[in-house]
Amino acid sequence: MGKRQRRNHSSGFKAKVALAALREDKTLSELSSQFDVHPNQISDWKRQLQDKAPGVFGGKEEEKEKEPDIVRMQAKIGQLTLENDFLEAALIKAGMLSAKR
């Protein structure tokens, strides 16, 4: 008996199987036979669906808020660099800093 070739299932198929598992009108064994997928795989897809379900109803906005604002940070870096250069030039001119830096 040879090994079964690895299969890649579409996200739609995974969702269909996971939703069927969530309905709980059939056992994992029955679903496994119906969809020709291992019961552990069905359990994994069901768990993934349950974990990610809250994101369907606004999770992307919450994730966006947690992401750093790159444009704002780059602008701040530019501002700080300009201020540092200005202050360095002023200190050199005042003789409080050597120009060899």
Task: Give residue-wise pLDDT tens across range 73-92.
Answer: 999 999 999 999 999 999 99
Neighbours of 43 (CB within 10 A): 14
61 and 78 co-located in one domain: no
46 and 82 co-located in one domain: no
42 and 13 co-located in one domain: yes
59 and 74 co-located in one domain: no
In whole angstroms, what is the distance from residue 2 CA to residue 32 CA?
20
Please count the residues of the chain. 101
14 and 62 co-located in one domain: yes
- For the chain, the average pLDDT equals 87
79 and 57 co-located in one domain: no
pLDDT surpasses 90 at 67: no
58 and 13 co-located in one domain: yes
**Host domain of residue 51:** 9-67
86 and 63 co-located in one domain: no
pLDDT at res. 66: 72
48 and 72 co-located in one domain: no
In whole angstroms, what is the distance from residue 62 CA to residue 58 CA?
7
18 and 41 co-located in one domain: yes
In whole angstroms, what is the distance from residue 61 CA to residue 54 CA?
12
Name the domain count of the chain: 2
Greater confidence (88 vs 4) lies with 88
In whole angstroms, what is the distance from residue 49 CA to residue 69 CA?
29
In whole angstroms, what is the distance from residue 9 CA to residue 42 CA?
12
pLDDT surpasses 90 at 19: yes
pLDDT at res. 56: 79
58 and 73 co-located in one domain: no
